[in-house]
A and B are shown apart, each in its own frame.
Chain A
Amino acid sequence: MKVAVQREDFDLGAEVRAISKNATIGAVASFVGLVRDVRMTLEHYPGMTERAIRKIVEEAATRWQLIDCTVIHRYGELAPNDQIVLVAVASAHRGDAFAACEFIMDYLKTRAPFWKKEHRAGGATWVASRGADDEAADRWKQGER
């Protein structure tokens, strides 16, 4: 498992190849989040952020069969179209890889301590949390999947 919280950009292809070097792996599902529309600054809680992401991945590993997993989340100054987050999950079969990837992303949005500040012409504002993100994370508790 690799968890990285970093300023630097990442290379999706290189990260996927790095978790594909095992003949038991039949599927790698990956998600990349991008900055939409505006310039932003991402703040995080060093130490807790990595810890929170590891706990999310560990929980995913109790629900699905994961062989390897990489999560990279950037912080600092980001511009429209920049990559923010990568979740890549390797498993024997696609079902586990798809589900675990979506679960990790949904939980990351509500449990990992990151805060976005958007910079618009009128000034900088902190992004308000979205109820839709809580609902996306909550549905994993209700056995809907």
Chain B
Amino acid sequence: MKVKLLFFAALREQLGRPAEELELPANVATVAALRDHLRARGGEWAQVFAPNRPVRAAVNQDMVQAEARIKAGDEVAFFPPVTGG
């Protein structure tokens, strides 16, 4: 299934891209599994998605927990803890 990934702030800078379209294998069906999938790319990806790094996620513009499910066509965003206000 195909999803759209978005990256913001420090993650966007470190990964060198604001967005990408990605075809996911069938076994990648949650945000946690997607994080593992991206971490396996190595290099900067391994650093950004290291287990101890605080990364937040949103699916279709709602903040979600790691166990949230992903389906075809979803917009999945990864970003650092927010610092507005």
Contacts and interface: CB of A to CB of B under 8 A. Distances in A.
B84 interface: yes
A111 B62 CA distance: 10
Contact of B82 (A33, A47, A105, A129): A129
A83 to B, nearest CB: 12
A84 interface: yes
- Which one of A48, A73, A128, A133 has the greatest number of beta carbons of chain B within 10 Å? A48
A109 B80 contact: no
Interface in B1-44: 6, 8-10
Interface string A16-50: 00000000000000000100000000111101100
Contacts of B9: 43, 115, 117, 126
Interface residues of B, number: 17
B79 interface: yes
Contact of A108 (B54, B63, B84): B84
Interface in B34-85: 54, 58, 61-63, 77, 79-85
B22 to A, nearest CB: 18
A112 B79 contact: no
Interface of B: 6, 8-10, 54, 58, 61-63, 77, 79-85
Given A84-B85, A113-B58, A116-B83, 17 more contacts: A33-B85, A42-B84, A43-B8, A45-B6, A47-B61, A73-B85, A108-B85, A109-B85, A113-B77, A113-B79, A115-B80, A115-B84, A117-B9, A126-B83, A129-B80, A129-B82, A133-B85
